[in-house]
Structure 1
Amino acid sequence: MANQDTLDPVAHGTGMPQIAPLPVGGEQFQNLPDRLRAAATECAHKPALIDGEETLSCADICNLMDRTATYLRDKGLQPGDRVASLAGNSADHVVLYLGVLAAGACMVPLPVTAHPTALAEMIRNCSPKFLFADDANLDIAEKLGAPQTLRLASVRPKAQQLPPIEPLGTAPTELFDINYSSGTTGTPKGIQHDCRFRDRQMTRMQKMGFGSGAVSVVSTPLYSNTTLAGLLPVLAYGGTVILMRKFSEQTFLELAERHRVSHILLVPVQYQRLLADPEFDCFDLSAFQVKLSTSAPLPEPLVRDLLKRWPGRLINLYGMTEGGLATILDCGAHPGKLHTVGKASEGTDLRIIGEDGREITDGRVGEIVGRSNTIMTGYRDAPEKTREALWQSPDGGYFMRTGDLGRLDDDGFLVLLDRRKDMIISGGFNIYAADLEQVLLTHPDVAEAAVIAIPSARWGETPLGLVVLKKGATVSTDALLAHANAQLGKTQRLSAIEARDQLPRNAIGKILKRELREAYQNAARAAGS
């Protein structure tokens, strides 16, 4: 019998390795549009989506989804095609997303914070049939080279004049969406999820309460896997989603109190900013049942403050947009394990490997790898990058490599340590230091550059540039900062630049970033003590 994790090097005729997820016994797959139709039958008039002054019921959402699918098909969209979007959070954006899926196509929400150069590469990589943009991003979208660029606000008025599409049968292995890792250099990686990935993810989230009884605020952008993990199951099972177009502490707290919000998924810096709001304790948050945190480390002092001041369970999740690995920590149930990210979730096989690629089983530190019942199909049109992201176990199974260092304690809880990759997580968004360093090095006066994460009260972490100038150079750090940030996306921008006489290196010439970071981390700890 063939191994469940066999790589097919010619799957779909693209040469892309296809990674098989672990099987789930007794599974009954149902695509998202069909789940929404079932919810509309059971609770037609229940509020499903609230965007400012507009409220759409379950029946409204289903009706708009199916009419949008007809609109897209009439314009020539075929099953398997890709549709890209460059837009912020809005009801129009959600309706487009659902309509694309109902038409049997794949949705590609692009990061609005990425630099136009990176966005153009994403368009080239995914080859969308259409690119839809909201008014704030239309000028940028029209310059990205998509075959057809259309105004997002025009979709609903046209779709409402058309009949609903006849429901399509969708195979579990058909592509659902592509999420991009944003960057300014090299090729941004398109992380492909199939319909089975999303269906299983929704099932897992429903078990944590993100379903028919949930009222949830969505405050992170639609191009984020974190957002989709919280948004889609609430809609699919008949719950209520309140959209925030831009996160602010006061607005979030007001919405949470007014709508009796029960379930949320936020990134740690949002929790940090909310608790720091001087009026936080004045709001009635008693309806909360579950709070999820993901996308960045959740500091233990913040966990204890959340448990003390905010009602409901607090669950810390660790994983990747690529899938393959998921751990879960119910913080209130395990007060002695708050320094960990919990245990492997149901359907996850988690292991630690050493530099030699062999599994570590004695509690030592190594790279975290995992496979699960939710895993990407591969990076789009990047078979070598896909293979580099995999580790093969002695029994032939393929695991996703996280690039993170950690160890398993005696109880099987994962202790997450340093990151092997020079990744900075600012406001829940991943920033790759190598991208920023290459931008700094484009300036003619810069001889050496290193970018590190330093603590930030507002963003959790923020990137700091450290440069060694060429002999005789007189450029100011302010001018360098302006030069670099003009080439970077909004969430990538450097907070500051400092000039150094030299950068510390080891015997083989590698810059010692840990040493660079320590001074800032020690200063932050001293300031907080």
Structure 2
Amino acid sequence: MAEAVRRQAAARPDRLAIVDADRRLSWQDLGRLVERVTARLRTEGIGRGTMVASLAENSAAHLAVYLGALGAGACVVPLPTGAHEAALRRMAQNCDPALLFASARQNEVAGRLGPPVVDLDALESWLDTDTPGLAESAEPEPVGPDDLFDMIYSSGTTGMPKGILHDHRFRSRQIMRMANYGLNGDAVCLMSTPLYSNTTLVAVLPVLAHGGTLVVMGKFETRGFLELAERHRVSHAMLVPVQYRRILDDADFDRFDLSAFRVKLSTSAPLPAATIRAALERWPGKLIEIYGMTEGGISTMLDCAAHPDKLDTVGRPVAGAEVRILDPQERPLPPGEVGEVVGRSPTMMVGYYKSPQSTAEMLWRSPEGEDFFRTGDMGRLDADGFLTLLDRRKDMILSGGFNIYAADLEQVLLVHPDVAEAAVIAVPSEQWGETPLGLVVLGTGAAVDAQVLCDWANARLGKTQRLSAVEIRPSLPRSAIGKVLKRELRAAYWAKAAT
């Protein structure tokens, strides 16, 4: 990756590499900055296999540190800025980085985590330190496919977040695959999700490797996204479903010129069919839905316009990938049957850092002796090989002996014209053990009664699926990358039942 940046800086020095607020870096500027970071890190004794962490918002400086650390041969560990300090402390203890780069906003917390902290907002001062030997070794450290590239921590909503290790083989294959969707040297990609998320890296790394242009948002907000997309003639963006909904709901969406868009990508959660249709109708360019994990293994894609009859699926396995559905005894199931989704692909993590047991638990070995990764998701394959996701295995509702999949119920609720967001969770029931409860956020100006909405949905659901009630909420708790935090939603109901 660092060598690719070096090549692009030499081949297209005057092309715009990064737009960050009012700052613009050409490829020549970015190449020089990355080399300076690499050289400075070497004076700190950082080389192959060393962990270098960051705790910062999106910025040109953050990207330069990420790339410069790779140039030194280090493994980059971008920590989640939205995590609780206690979780961040556990992550820092786990990866034990030689340095922690932190933005001004994160400096106070970073200073309590243990590693030596470098102020990312004073990067130039740190680079200009008069250190012997600083200019002697700016060339990237030679690395092989098995060398570590980065480590991304799982969300860690319960217990210790797991460090997901990627090597250069993983990232190189991913970069090559994503170039097929135009994430290359001609792309102008709008980066609006955080650097610590694999969602972001899937799009950002190919653009940087091939010499394209990144337009960087420090923090996502709808109007700013639309203004940047129009101003810079953005051609690509990787977004999560809640971002699509909010962008399309902007009152002035249709007045913005988005005609330069060639491809929009969506991942992290299934994209509702209604949102897909709205995007295809009103937003130029292709819409590609991706289903995958930070760990790799599972990898499917759906070209939404090409398969309008499959919008309730997440597509088919990409080239070189395979998906199987397992029954409770871990036996493969035929098309149409519901079970746990497992997958294998050319991109699979090295493992969970310092956690061989968790890595072993992640694996399912096929009768042919091939290793698949467990997803924890329930789903089914249709006769054409398209995958439909139904629920997280741990979120499945067991009511009166019947398995109820929240996704089926949520899909019905989202059809109602007054419903903007929906989440269905299991709550305690004396009669059934568990029963489904619908939690919804209404659209702007909507005022439907909760009981009326519940009756409307139940009239469209099977007898064993029916909602016990619907509650209207102002919002749903979400992770930084937009996933609904169902554990938080369930907690209050089960805590009350336990008292």
TM-score (norm 2): 0.80
Contact kept? 2:268, 2:481, Cα under 8 Å: no
Is residue 2:29 matched to residue 1:60? yes
Query: Is 2:335–2:382's contact at 8 Å kept on the other side of the alignment?
Result: no
The alignment of Structure 1 onto Structure 2 pairs a total of residues equal to: 426
Alignment gaps of 5+ in structure 1: 1-31, 426-430, 438-448, 459-484, 505-529
SS at match of 2:202: helix
After superposition, what is the alpha-carbon deviation per residue over 1:353-391, rounded to whole angstroms, capped at 9, x for unaligned? 111011112421111111111010000011111111110
3-state SS of the aligned residue for 1:132? strand
Check 1:502–1:126 CA distance in 2 against 1; reply closer, same or farther (3 A cut): closer
Q: CA deviation at 1:245?
A: 0.7
Which residue of structure 1 lines up, in the alignment, with residue 5 of structure 2? 36
Corresponding residue to 1:84 among 42, 49, 53: 53
d(CA) in 2 for partners of 1:234 and 1:37?
14
Q: 1:181 to 1:450 in 2, by over 3 A?
A: farther
- Confirm whether residue 94 of structure 1 aligns to residue 60 of structure 2: no
Mapping 1:204-223, distance limit 5 Å: 204-223=177-196
Q: Secondary structure at the match of 2:312?
A: coil
Please tell me whether the aligned partners of residues 318 and 326 of structure 1 are also in contact (alpha carbons under 8 angstroms): yes
1:413 correspondence with 2:386:
yes
Which residue of the partner structure matches residue 257 of structure 1? 230
Amino acid paired to 1:412 = G
* Among candidates 226, 230, 235, match of residue 199 of structure 2: 226
Q: Which has the higher contact order (CA 8 A, sep 6+)?
A: 1
After the TM superposition, which residues 10-409 of structure 1 pair with which residues of structure 2 at under 5 Å, given as runs?
32-146=1-115, 148-159=116-127, 162-163=134-135, 165-183=138-156, 185-409=158-382
Output the CA distance in 2 between the equivalents of 1:229 and 1:343.
18
1:173–1:343 CA distance, 2 compared to 1 (3 A): same
Q: 1:100 to 1:189 in 2, by over 3 A?
A: same
Letter in 2 for 1:371: R
Tell me how far apart the structure 2 counterparts of residues 262 and 490 of structure 1 sit (CA, whole Å): 22
Distance in 1 separating the partners of 2:46 and 2:24: 29
The residue that corresponds to 2:463 in the other structure is: none
1:502 Cα deviation (Å)? 6.7
| Shift in CA distance, 293/457, structure 1 to aligned 2, threshold 3 Å | farther
CA distance in 1, matches of 2:114, 2:202: 30
Asked if the contact 2:289/2:301 (under 8 Å) is kept, the reply is: yes
Change over 3 Å in CA distance of 1:101–1:490 after alignment to 2: closer
CA distance, structure 2, for counterparts of residue 334 and residue 502 of structure 1: 45
Instruction: State the Cα deviation string for residues 83-140 of structure 1 (Å, max 9, x = none).
Output: 1111111111111100100000000000011111111111111111111111111111
Counterpart of 1:108 in 2: which secondary structure?
Answer: strand
The percent identity for this pair of structures is 50
Inter-partner Cα distance in structure 2 for 1:142 and 1:398: 41
Residues 117 and 184, structure 1, Cα contact 8 Å, conserved in 2: no
Per-residue deviation, 1:495 = 7.3
Instruction: Output the amino acid matched with 1:336.
Output: D
- Cα 1:331–1:184 change in 2 (3 A) is closer
- The answer (yes or no) to whether the contact 2:193–2:481 under 8 Å persists in 1 is no
1:347, CA displacement in angstroms?
Answer: 1.5
In the alignment, the residues of structure 2 paired with residue 157 and residue 452 of structure 1 have an alpha-carbon distance, to the nearest angstrom, of 55
In structure 1, distance between residues paired with 2:40 and 2:113: 23
Question: What is the rounded CA distance, in whole Å, between the counterparts of 2:315 and 2:329 in structure 1?
Answer: 26
TM-score computed with the length of structure 1 as normaliser: 0.76
